[in-house]
Amino acid sequence: MLKNIASTIYSIYALIVFIPISLVVFILYVIVFGIIPQPKSSRIAHRISQVWAHVTYTVLFIRVKIKNKHLIPKEEGVVFISNHRSLLDVPLWAISTPHVVKYLSKEEMTKVPVFGYAIKRMYITVNRADSKDRHLSIIKMVNALKAGTSIYLAPEGTRNKTKEILLPFKDGAFRMAIAAQAPICVFTLYNTDKLLNPKKLLSLLPGTIRGTWAEPIYTKGMTENDIPALREKVRNIMETNYVMMSKL
């Protein structure tokens, strides 16, 4: 009971400091995208996102430990794949790679004032209820990859709120990587759901979150027939690394 009370008080503190920090960041996004042309504006916005992530974790007393960043391919146009367990994952994704990346977002997020402006310019949006729009979003991501822009995706499709290590994977990320013949780089994160329960917003705790990169998987020469094996390979990597970090 005392732990729950302390967590609720701490969560309220987190909201009080997080909201003004995020508002400042979104104003910076508006300025950057309003006066600086692409692709320079995207590079600056990515750097702003990384600073925001570091500041957010610092004021929330959350430590971050990321291993094997040297395994990230230096070339652009990479498909970054991660598991997804908590809202704390988002800042971790921002600082996990030096690459400028685009994320996939729900179309309705673009309607949020200020925030939606940044989403339209930093994310590829999709209406998940529309099969044609889902297909179009994959085409947009393939074209972005071929143009040298990296993409960051969670193949589970949503936050994992279960006790299972991973939810079932969707094929979109793997189909896209093969269509673009782009390398896949797998990032596994751990403990974000322990610090912020995905089922309860006011449940934040200080602590340490971990992440580790795996060797890149090159898809050159693969076809859609390779999707099931590729999907299982990535899943096995994530499960293995997740278990490994749980023992640290």
Structural domain that includes position 222: 2-246
CATH number, domain containing residue 109: 3.40.1130.10
DSSP 38-94: TTHHHHHHHHHHHHHHHHHHHHTTEEEEEE-GGGS-SSS--EEEE---STTHHHHHH
- Which residue type is seen at 214? A
The residue type found at 41 is S
Q: What is the count of structural domains for the chain?
A: 1
Question: Could you write out the DSSP letters of every residue in 36-48?
Answer: S-TTHHHHHHHHH
Please list the pLDDT of the chain residue by residue as tens digits (248 residues).
787 888 889 999 999 999 899 889 988 988 998 899 888 988 899 999 999 999 999 999 999 999 999 999 988 899 999 999 999 999 999 999 989 888 877 777 777 766 677 777 778 877 777 778 777 888 888 888 988 889 999 999 889 999 999 999 999 899 999 999 999 999 999 999 999 998 888 889 999 999 999 999 999 999 999 999 999 999 999 999 999 999 98
**Token duo for residue 114:** 């200020």
- How far apart, in whole angstroms, are the C-alpha atoms of residue 207 and residue 194? 9
Cβ partners under 8 Å of residue 58, min gap 6: none
- Give the span between the Cα atoms of 103 and 118, in whole angstroms: 12
CA-nearest of 196, 185, 134, 209 to 160 is 196
- Helices marked H in the chain — which ranges? 2-35, 40-59, 89-96, 115-122, 131-146, 172-180, 192-195, 227-246
Name residue 64's beta-bridge partners.
209
Specify the pLDDT at position 140.
86
Q: Which of 149, 229, 217, 160 is nearest to 187 (CA)?
A: 217
Give the per-residue pLDDT at 114: 64
Phi-psi category of 236—alpha, beta or left, where left has phi over 0 and alpha has psi -120 to 50? alpha
Cα separation, 152 vs 103, in Å, equals 5
Give every CB contact of residue 162 below 8 A, 6+ residues apart in sequence. none
